Amino acid sequence: MEQIQNISFVTETLSVRSILAHIGEPTRPPVISPARAPPASEEDPIPVDLGYDPLAQSVPKIEFDQRIQW
């Protein structure tokens, strides 16, 4: 005979804290450490091309004349 497993979620704060305290787990979330600065580098930073436009279209490799009608 198959055993049926029930899954449920406890979402009420007081109930969750009671259950955690009963099983010996912390009832408060851990303290999150503040973000740290990027590592200091003695090398020059990555060069940035200020004239770069990601939306600019490149020059076509073939000559295209729109005046020609087929």
Predicted local confidence at residue 4, as pLDDT: 82
Inter-residue contact 25 to 35 (CB < 8 Å): no
State the pLDDT confidence band at 69, using cuts at 50, 70 and 90. low
22 versus 44: the higher-pLDDT residue is: 22
pLDDT tens-place string over residues 3-34: 888 888 889 999 999 999 999 999 998 899 88
Predicted local confidence at residue 18, as pLDDT: 93
Q: Can you tell me the distance from the alpha carbon of 17 to that of 10, in angstroms, rounded to the nearest whole number?
A: 10
Range of weakest confidence among 21-25, 54-58, 63-67: 63-67
DSSP track, the chain: -PPPPP------HHHHHHHHHHTT--SSPPPPPPP-PPPP-SSPPPP--TT--TTPPPPPSS---TT---
